[in-house]
Every structure is written in C-alpha cells, then in structure tokens.
Structure 1
C-alpha cells in the first residue's frame, strides 16, 4: 500500500520510478529592485536569506540522485545579487543539468561573457516597458539602459562565437500602466536577440497597487486583447514566440509545476510544491482577498528529495496533475464562498487547495 492513494472505490498507485524532473531554486531573497508588482511586498513575516554554497552543493547532489534534469534559478529575490552566483552556475553545468537563469537583467552586462562561455541554456529577463521613464516607474531602482546593454552584449558575444546558448527569453508583467507597450515587445525582442516573450498578468495584493490590476478590468482586458493581436501579426516577420495569458479564467487549467514534475526549493532549504505556495502572503484577485498559507513538504537539510516527492507531495501531485479540484476563479459563488478566502481547503475536500491559483488558470506564468 506504499505510495498508494484511495479515491472512493479506487486505489491508485504512484509509479515506483516517479521522480522530480525540474527544480526551481531560490538562492537569495535579496534584490536590487523594488518592483511595484513584487510578491515580497505582500509577504507576511517575510524573512530574507541567502543560500550558502555548502547547502547549494548538497542540493545539487540530492537533485542528481533524484533524477532531476533541469534547474531554474528564480524565487522571491534576484539570483544575480548572490555573491557566489557564478560558482553556482558553474557547479550546475559541471553536474550536467540544463540550467535556466531568471533575472531582472541588471547585471547582465557584467556576467554576459561567463553566461556564454559556460553555455547556460536559457536566460529569462523581466522587462515590463520599453520607455525609460515607464520602466523606472514599474521597476523602481531599475535601469532600462543597463538591461538593454546587457542583452546587446549577450547577442554580440553569441554572434562572435557562433553559439546559440544561452537562449534569451523575456517575461512581461501586464498592468494598466504598460498595457500600451505590449505590441512593442516583439520589435525590441528582435533587436536584442530575444527568442520568446511570456506575457503574464500582474497579481494584485491587499495594500499594494490594486489600481494597476488589469485582469479585473474589462476595459484593460480588451486593450490587452488588441495589443496581443498586434503582436501576433508581427510574429511572421520576427519569428519571436509569444506566450499569452487567458484573458479571463476558465475551467481549462494546468499546474506548471506538477505538469513539469517540478518542485520549489527556498533559500533556507525548505521544499514547497511551487513558488506561489512557498510563503505566507495575501493576494487579491477579481476583488476577493485570499490568504496564502505556506505549504512546506520538508527540508533538504534533513530529508531526501526523492522521499519528499514520493511521500508528502504524493496526494497533492495527483490532484494537481489531473486537476482534481474545483475551479474557483470562474465560479459564480467566488464572491460569497468562505472556503475560497484561503488556500487551506476547498469544497471538494482538498487540503491544501490550488483551485484559485492564477498560474493554474493560465493568468500568470512561471519561467519553467
């Protein structure tokens, strides 16, 4: 009966060879930006940390032993501010992992040569505007020209070396301020060697910049639809891939973490099912405030990664992979249902519940 679930009259057993394939690793919660849409502003009792090299090396050993093939450096901070970031990238490549770096791009110019020489597989750069003033308004303390110079250097180094790595991708967080910038993204991407752009809704939170939320405004959603249409027309001349959010939530859902067999590792070694549920914080989607309670499966300091995958995560993995849960964000009762006010439980008896997660509903995207 080990690794077996019971649903009504059915017994469902996990394949004994099941294992995580990807990890999203948070090496630091420090950041040199103060973006208006950052989750950190909504965190409850947030405690920053930086992963030391010993723990990181132990994590790589655990990942290798568990069959992980891909590691993404991302999280509630900026990976490139870690003092040992280049050693970490080098160690991951030495282990043979497919390596992805998610960054705000502020240090790209400094590390571009290393990214190319190490053949880092992918680099995701967050860019939310192409106007210097607007960029600074959204990505406070950021420098748009520095990001552009970094991308330009990366592009030129790849051309000089005849290489294709790293593949450059971009994430654009949509809000009411930058909605008019969406259709400009493909021209910028072509000029600076970006191969793919992910458009993702800004996730509002209580006490934050709720006035910037686009997904809760019919007018803003219509503007986004038109901007995405303009962008789509440029696909054939630019060849830039575009990933766009659902304009509104529907029952069509997919968990990016479960589908990719991925887990999230916090900087303190705690293992969570995803980045969204890795800490205590609050969101406000479509006017409904929700408390997110952290979901921690264990810690790699004292548990084997494969045991956490096949043990504490087992039931949650099944429900996420087969979407065995209600669809809260398009439910007519969402404004009145007390169960949807947190992720602790839902009307199907799931504990915890992912039924109102914007990533599940294709409203926002993860770099995995």
Structure 2
C-alpha cells in the first residue's frame, strides 16, 4: 500500500470509528483493498465440556498428546452461556470436542440450563454411546441431533478398535430407539459416525444392515488420520483404490430402508474448503480457549502420507479473560478467517519437495509466510470430516 493510499485508509478508519460500525479491518490485497467491518456473527459453537473419555480408541488423538485431563467447571460453563446470549446469529451449539460429554459430572445440569436459556437453538451432541442408557429422557427432551461413533458391528472388531466397554453401544442405541418410540418422540435425529480403516471397512455393510433397526438416519463415513505410527498402514487414502469405501456400500432404490450416507473423499484433489469458516463456527476448549477448529484445539502429533507432523494449538483468546464476541471480532481472527475462506495456503501434501521441507513438519508457518498454517489440513480436503 503506497503512502497516499495509506493516509486515505487511515482517514476512512477514523470516520468509521465514529459511526455505528465502530471499527474496520483493512486487508491489503495485490490489486485492491478489502474493508471488513467485524460483526459478532458466530453461528455455531462447539463446546468441549471435558477432554476426558471412558474409552481408549486406537485411532484417537488423545493417544498423541500430553495435555492434562480436566472438565469445564459448571460455573465456567454458565459464564459461557452469558456470553453466548450476546451472539445474535447463533444457531447451533455442539457438545463435542475431544472428550466424551456424557461423563461430565454436571452433564444433566448443563444440558437443561442450555435448553432453558436457548429453547430455539439447535442442540447437538457427539458421543461414543456408552452412557446414553443413563440419559435417555434427558437426551430425547433436549437434543435435536445425536451423533454416535460406531466403527464396527462384530464384537471382536469393536474390542480391537475401541475396547470391550464399547461393545454395548449398539444395544444401548437399540434400547434408546425403542424407548423413544414408546413415548412417541421423533428427536433427536440419530447419526452414526464411522471411521473407515482397513481393519473395519468390511464392517460397513453390517452397519448399514442394522441402521434402520437402530433408527439411524444418516451415516457419516470419514477416513482415519493416524496419530500414532503403529496404525499408519490402516489408512485408506491416498494410495490404492479410490473407490475402496464405495464398494462396500450397497446402492439401489431401496426406499423402505433409505439411509443418507455421507462419504469422505479418498483422493487428494485441488479444491480446499474449511467447513468451520463457512459455517461461522468456533471451538471452545475445556479451559476456555477459543480456537478456529478442532484441528487447532490441541497440540498433537499425526502422520500424513507417512510423514510425522506436529500440530500446535492455536487460540485467539480465552473466554475467562475476554468476551467471546470480542475475541471473534479481533483483527487477527478476522484476517485469519478471510485467509482461510480464500484458502491461500500452499499444498504440502502433494508438493514434490514435501519430504525435505522443514516448514511442513509443523503448522507454525508455511512457505507463503502464513502463521498458523492450514497447508496440510486433511479436513479442508474432505478426507477427514467433523460432524
């Protein structure tokens, strides 16, 4: 930006500062200047009530981090609700993150208070399904969607992937569906999330066969991102047959047993897009940090095409120190969302110099100078998916 133009922009900013807009963010592009008035337009908030879990799944991110395990105190969550009330465009609250929400000791109080204060908000829960039998009526009365992790039907496969405690999930879900029918309720809609790997892909037709009985309306099939070196070879991407997942899905006009099936990609393609940015979403971690997505919510190690990569947590603020709406409207966060919306990042995963490139070993900075970097994000490639 030349000096004269810079002076003009500063004058415009002074004028706008005196208007109802209050402030603007000016982004200097190659051939134009973009003026963005920040707004508290968050529409979707993911809340990590706890980062603890009662399972120890072999493909879980929690196997590759060293963070302390904790729960969000009830009083902290109530303060978060106060801040959520200041978001005029809020549509959805998701209890998820990288722990199991139903093990929170105040789960019942949290759910009831949330629905009481936000009766028209879409409330979603992601769960491993092991404790839904203890909260049947609470879930039915308050949630719009319940997304249950089901990676197998065969008990031996379930135990190998998730441990023996997960073997009761299908029975829990069947009893849940029966109870909901008995009291003539239709919500929450039940979705299943299936993490596809070599060891369980043959289980997919079995899940489809029982889905109607479990009243599952949608099955989301995502690829497995290895967080430990011992399961690297379980990945179904990006090598091998690109139709590996699809060949296990029966197709045809079976309207009676129709189930929506949402399948992640298995090939590296040119197009990249961030659903968190498109949906105007953010993640509140268990300690109150505001992160732009699940990928940046914790520090962890993963393996992409066999290469080890460390992803460092990136927060734009903490709700215990600042208001959520103010964090969202920070210039740094506005600029980041704009950059991700355009996805002006290098493509590390298919770069011919990837093997010897030190930039690609972490998400701290990339060869374009972006920090943090989304250059090797598999979510943006639609290879890995979030609910």
TM-score range relative to shorter protein: over 0.9
How far does residue 236 in structure 1 lie from its aligned partner after superposition?
4.2
Count of aligned positions: 361
2:21 corresponds in structure 1 to: none
Structure 2 CA distance for aligned equivalents of residues 245 and 207 of structure 1 = 22
Q: Is the 8 A contact 2:217 2:260 kept in 1?
A: yes
Q: Distance in 2 between matches of 1:294 and 1:235?
A: 45
Query: What residue number does 2:25 align with?
Result: 3
Q: CA RMSD of the aligned region, Å?
A: 1.8
Matched, 1:301 2:320: yes
After superposition, where does 1:82-101 map in structure 2 within 5 Å? 82-96=104-118, 97-101=121-125
Given that 2:63 and 2:228 are in contact with CA atoms closer than 8 Å, whether structure 1 keeps it comes out as: no
| Secondary structure at the counterpart of residue 71 of structure 1 | strand
- Kindly state the Cα deviation for residue 181 of structure 1 after the two structures are TM-superposed: 1.2
Question: 1:109: which partner in 2?
Answer: 133
Residue number in structure 1 paired with 2:222: 200
- 1:199 aligned counterpart, secondary structure: strand
Aligned partners of 2:341, 2:180: CA distance in 1, in Å?
38
Q: What is the CA-CA distance between 1:301 and the residue it aligns to?
A: 0.4
Q: 8 Å contact 1:135–1:142 — kept in the other structure?
A: no
CA distance, structure 2, for counterparts of residue 236 and residue 341 of structure 1: 47
Write out aligned runs for 1:158-173 (5 A).
158-173=180-195
Alignment match, 2:156: 133
Is this contact kept in 2: 1:36–1:139, CA < 8 A? yes
More displaced 10-residue stretch of structure 1: 261-270 or 8-17? 8-17
Deviates more, 1:167-176 or 1:150-159: 150-159
Pairwise CA distance, 1:355: 1.5
Which stretch of structure 1 is more off in the superposition, 9-18 or 107-116?
Answer: 9-18
* Higher RCO by CA contacts (8 Å cutoff, separation 6 or greater): 1
Q: Name the residue aligned to 1:323.
A: 343
Choose 109-118 or 73-82, whichever is displaced more.
109-118
Q: 8 Å contact 1:34–1:141 — kept in the other structure?
A: no
Does 1:343 find its partner at 2:363?
yes
2:84 to 57, 63, 71: 63
Cα-to-partner distance string for 1:99-148 (whole Å, 9 max, x where unaligned): 10100000111111221123x1110000000101111110124332x212
Residues 73 and 82 from structure 1, CA distance in 2 versus in 1: closer, same or farther, beyond 3 angstroms?
same
Of the three residues 89, 95, 98, the one matched with 1:76 is: 98
2:51·2:98 contact (CA, 8 Å) conserved in 1? yes
Structure 2 Cα separation of the partners of residues 197 and 11 of structure 1: 43
Q: Which blocks of at least 5 consecutive residues in structure 2 are unaligned?
A: 1-12, 14-23
What's the CA shift for 1:358? 1.0
Q: Distance in 2 between matches of 1:284 and 1:37?
A: 12
Indicate if the aligned counterparts of 2:296 and 2:313 stay in contact, CA closer than 8 A.
yes
TM normalised by structure 1 equals: 0.93
Shift of 1:26: 0.5
Contact 1:113 1:154 in 2 (8 A): no
Q: CA deviation at 1:208?
A: 4.1
Q: 1:192 is paired with a residue of what secondary structure?
A: coil
Q: Answer with 1 or 2: which has the greater Rg.
A: 2
Where do 1:1-368 residues align within 5 Å?
A: 1=13, 2-43=24-65, 45-67=66-88, 68-96=90-118, 97-118=121-142, 120-144=143-167, 146-218=168-240, 221-228=242-249, 230=250, 232-233=251-252, 236-311=255-330, 312-367=332-387
Following the alignment from structure 1 to structure 2, what is the Cα–Cα distance between the partners of residues 33 and 354?
Answer: 29
What is the CA–CA distance in structure 1 between the aligned matches of 2:123 and 2:209, rounded to whole Å?
A: 27
Cα deviations by residue, 1:175-226 (Å, 9 ceiling, x for unpaired): 111011123322221110011111011101244422322225415x543231
